[in-house]
Amino acid sequence: QVQLVESGGGSVQAGGSLRLSCAASGPYYCMGWFRQAPGKEREMVARFWSTGVRPFVSNSVKGRFAVSQDSTKNTLYLQMNSLEPDDTATYYCAAENSTYRCSRNDHRIWGQGTQVTVSS
């Protein structure tokens, strides 16, 4: 069973930057970054495939966030620039080894979450 360990959250002022990391203990087919703010539904922010398919970034963060991988460290990153107060949420990474589940955005492996707080 792959385990995920997230890091990099924190508090910043609007316009600032943070980089989240998600270290995986084993291989995965797809991995995603999600976020959930209090009272809101969970939202997928970005998705990365190990096959080299172009990463996905949601429209809500496109142009500000970027997802990348360091395969030597088996770690996925989420670079967040020009942060806005609406980006305040708990951010989770999730992974999946099943191609079928990946195609359905159904991840079984989740990290513990890391808090990002953006003040105006």
**Could you give the CA distance from residue 108 to residue 112 in angstroms, rounded to a whole number?**
13
Question: What's the pLDDT score for residue 64?
Answer: 97
**Could you give the CA distance from residue 70 to residue 97 in angstroms, rounded to a whole number?**
18
Question: What's the pLDDT score for residue 53?
Answer: 86
| Tens place of pLDDT per residue across the chain (120 aa) | 889 999 999 999 999 999 999 999 998 899 999 999 999 999 999 999 988 888 999 999 999 999 999 888 889 999 999 999 999 999 999 999 999 999 898 999 999 999 999 999
